[in-house]
Amino acid sequence: MQTDTGRLLIVDDNKMNREVLRLRLDRKGYETEIAENGRQALALIAAQPFDLVLLDIMMPDMDGFQVLEAIREGHSLTKLPVIMATAKDMSDDIVKAMSLGANDYVTKPIDFPVALARIQTQLALKRAEEALQAAKVEAEEANRTKSRFLASMSHELRTPLNSVIGFTNILLKNRKGNLDKKDLMYLERISANGTQLLELINDVLDLSKVESGRMEVFSETFEVKTVIEDVVASARPLIDRNENTLDLHVADDVGAMYADVTKVRQILNNLLSNAGKFTHKGRITLDVARQNRNGVDGVVFGVTDTGIGMTVEQVEKLFQPFTQADASTSRRYGGTGLGLTLTRQFCSLLGGDISVESEPGRGSVFAVWLPVQAKTQA
């Protein structure tokens, strides 16, 4: 192991002890300072940075315990490790020192190689902790940069794409009647692909907003039944395309909700489109009912399908961004694996949650619970 040098503070009222220790540590390449008593030690610590303190317990006036307590008020165990020097056979002292926040101890007379080994261990731990903190700060900053980049890119991409889709749709109307079947088929492809790309960009933009904490929630009161009708109407083509049937069970007393209706719609759209996409010639059921949870009034939306289902391993990875059950899924079914990540984020933004049960070859059940009355954001 490479020797980890650093700035050490030796606190001992006995001149002989501290000078000997200082000499030996200096020789090992450490930078040392000495303090004759507790007050001096605390003044030094307040004035300059140290990597470790070697602190004698038995000192007149202010003892080592008091000094230790004062150090721990401003410095954590990893920021400033403290090794206590205790008399032999004083296990009570050791226990007390550790409970007050000492990192380790050595017994007097100090066995230098032992003290050195303990110093090295504490310094290595401190360095590791510092490296970890630095990496965390760096990763968080990188993540914020990524989110900002995604947000601005998504914005820049949407504008031209909307115009591509818009003009394509104008051409598709074939007002002049000069486009033949093939032309129209090409235009339909452009429109469909453009729309798909736009959805992807919208998802990425949403995700970057959620991740950077900038996703806003606009709550309003709406009839649950009306939203269900809208969502079902827009999911219908996908459900029909795979020759599935849709059963709708909406409880009569489901009533109104106060929440962000766009997000509720998006949650249900994602679940229904997944059910439609991953089920062929099967049955999809949407159950909607009131459900009280821990005294909170809510609505539960259950989407059940008889489709391909998922293994336990696949379910575990389900809510991670850009994850699809297996590599062949994206090739066969399209999509990017953002739908459920966003769905879960939205559920928690609205104060609810999502759960799933699935079995390969049999189907899946997704259940979303949302409070009837969303908390108004501060």
Q: Interface residues with ligand ATP (CB under 6 A)?
A: 203, 270, 274-275, 278, 305, 307-310, 318, 324-325, 329, 335-341, 364
Between 46 and 312, CB nearer to ligand ATP: 312
Q: How far is the CB of 242 from ligand ATP (least distance, A)?
A: 12
Q: How far is the CB of 176 from ligand ATP (least distance, A)?
A: 36
Q: How far is the CB of 181 from Mg ion (least distance, A)?
A: 32
Q: How far is the CB of 135 from Mg ion (least distance, A)?
A: 33
Q: Return left, alpha or beta for 136; rule: phi > 0 is left, psi -120 to 50 is alpha, else beta.
A: alpha
Tell which one of 274, 304, 343, 358 touches Mg ion (CB under 5 A): 274
Residue listed under structure tokens 């719609």: 265
Contacts of 341 (CB under 8 A, 6+ apart): 207, 319, 320, 321, 322, 323
Between 335 and 371, CB nearer to ligand ATP: 335
Question: What's the token pair of residue 266?
Answer: 């998006």
239 binds, among ligand ATP, Mg ion, none (CB under 5 to 8 A by kind): none
Q: How far is the CB of 167 from ligand ATP (least distance, A)?
A: 25
| Among the listed residues 328, 238, 303, 237, the one whose alpha carbon sits nearest the alpha carbon of residue 276 | 238
| Among the listed residues 65, 62, 132, 121, the one whose alpha carbon sits nearest the alpha carbon of residue 93 | 65
Write the interaction track for Mg ion spanning residues 324-363; mark x where CB under 5 A is met and - where it is not. ---------------x------------------------
3-class DSSP state for residue 214? coil
- Residue 104 pairs with which residues in a beta bridge? 83
Between 274 and 279, CB nearer to Mg ion: 274
Between 50 and 278, CB nearer to ligand ATP: 278
Contacts of 321 (CB under 8 A, 6+ apart): 207, 337, 338, 341
Q: Which residues bind Mg ion (CB under 5 A)?
A: 274, 339
